[in-house]
Amino acid sequence: MKHLFLFLLIASGATSYAQTTADSAIKVSYSSNLPQIKQPAYYLNGQFIGSSLQSINIKMIENITVLKEIDSVNGVQYNGKILITTKANYVPKLISLNEFKFKYTNIADKSVLFMIDGGIVNADYDKYLVDENNVFHVFVDEVNNPKEKLRLVVVKLLTKTDENIKNYNEVRIRSLGVPVKQ
């Protein structure tokens, strides 16, 4: 009898922990409601680059120094400094996103949303710098939805990461988003 009771106790515990239920409530998060953390100021080879670090080729970084001191640039206060030094043979070609738009696209007079490697750039496009040497591909998509009164151009920059190059070379079925082996 003791063995039967022990078996039933273990079996009921195992089944109750093994059950999973689908949560029926969809969770929605608004980034504007998240606490804003002050970012550090980034310097690339001594040049202030704000917080535009996404397009820097990490393979070309020689040294990174983190300083905890508060830094103020053009009236904006930053929570520390990060000094990045590239390898001696690498010279980054920094350009603002607006300059990039005028140089590489024909959408000068349209509203633009920039994305770098899938992340939305929520910054001043005149001050946000990218390294032209590390841009692999640019996709330009126009969004025109009269019902929603929405008209803008989405400019997606892919950097030269191994993953981006690998994914770009895969053939994908667009509606499924599934890679097809060649």
The arithmetic mean of pLDDT across residues 72-89, rounded, is: 90
pLDDT tens digits along 136-160? 999 999 999 999 998 999 999 999 9
φ, ψ at 47 (rounded to 5°): -95, 130
Residue with more model confidence, 89 or 3: 89
The residue to which tokens 């103020």 are assigned? 72
3 state DSSP class of 14: helix
Q: What pLDDT is stored for residue 97 in this prediction? A: 94
Residue with more model confidence, 5 or 168: 168
* pLDDT tier, 76 (very low <50, low <70, confident <90, very high otherwise): confident
Q: What pLDDT is stored for residue 16 in this prediction? A: 53
Q: Are strands 41-44 and 81-86 parallel, antiparallel or unpaired?
A: parallel
**Domain housing 97:** 36-180
SS (H, E, C) 106-120: CCCCCCEEEEECCEE
Q: What pLDDT is stored for residue 15 in this prediction? A: 54
In a domain, 23, yes or no: no
Residues 6+ apart with CB under 8 A from 129: 49, 50, 52, 55, 94, 95, 96, 97
**Number of folded domains in the chain?**
1
In a domain, 5, yes or no: no
pLDDT tens digits along 101-149? 999 998 878 889 999 999 999 888 998 999 999 999 999 999 999 999 9
Q: What pLDDT is stored for residue 174 in this prediction? A: 61
In a domain, 57, yes or no: yes
In a domain, 28, yes or no: no
Kindly tell me if the per-residue pLDDT of 3 is higher than 60: no
In a domain, 144, yes or no: yes
In a domain, 112, yes or no: yes
pLDDT tens digits along 11-41? 666 555 555 666 688 988 887 766 667 788 8
Q: What pLDDT is stored for residue 96 in this prediction? A: 93
The arithmetic mean of pLDDT across residues 175-180, rounded, is: 52
In a domain, 71, yes or no: yes
In a domain, 109, yes or no: yes
The residue to which tokens 């591909």 are assigned? 137
